[in-house]
Structure 1
Amino acid sequence: MLPSIHHPRYQALQSHLKALRQGAGFTQIQLAERLGVHQTYLSKIERGERYMDVLLYLDWCRACGAEPDAAIKALMNAGA
């Protein structure tokens, strides 16, 4: 069964994504421009109002200078 966006694992993903963005020194607007999406779309993902798909996750990591495999390991170690 697909977990809800309110599931603790998904909440860990939201925190993880925000930490990646902030660690790279980007505002939501700056990251949105790099990804070619609207800032409001990123905001909704970070607030848990939208799902993150794996392809956007890969792009998010790369835009923030993070290797996706290392980022996933960090997320898993955080309890997600």
Structure 2
Amino acid sequence: MKSLRSPAHVRLLEVLLAAREKAGLTQQQLADRLGKPQSFISKYEGGERRIDVIEFIAIADALEMDASRAIRDIRSKFRG
């Protein structure tokens, strides 16, 4: 099963984008917190690349977001 651009992947991107916007951060500011180039943020938010679980945890931490809650949200919508 391909996950890139699947409904669950799209939902993950929506959750991460909303969390970044709620935190009041630009892509560059988040990238700086992660020690990554701004293009890293742009590519995953745009659905051009997947993020692995370790990257997800780092992003969630940088956004002060509850990673487990985000996962539960996605799982509840796409279980099955």
TM-score using structure 2 length: 0.86
- Identity of matched residues, %: 37
2:23 touches 2:63 (CA, 8 Å); kept in 1?
Answer: yes
Deviation at 1:53, TM superposition (A): 0.7
Aligned equivalent of 1:20:
19
Task: Give the equivalent residue in structure 2 for 1:10.
Answer: 9
SS of 2:21's equivalent? helix
Q: For structure 1, which runs of at least 5 residues remain unmatched after alignment?
A: none
Structure 1 stretch displaced more, 3-12 or 16-25: 3-12
Structure 2 unaligned residues grouped into runs of 5+:
none
Counterpart for residue 46 of structure 2: 47
Shift of 1:6: 1.8
CA contact (8 A) 2:34 2:62 kept: yes
Letter of the 1:15 partner, please give it.
E
2: distance between equivalents of 1:67 and 1:12?
15
How many residue pairs get aligned? The number is: 78
- Identify the residue that residue 33 of structure 2 maps to in structure 1: 34
- Across the aligned residues of Structure 1 and Structure 2, the Cα RMSD in angstroms comes to 1.4
Aligned to 1:69, what secondary structure does the other structure show?
helix
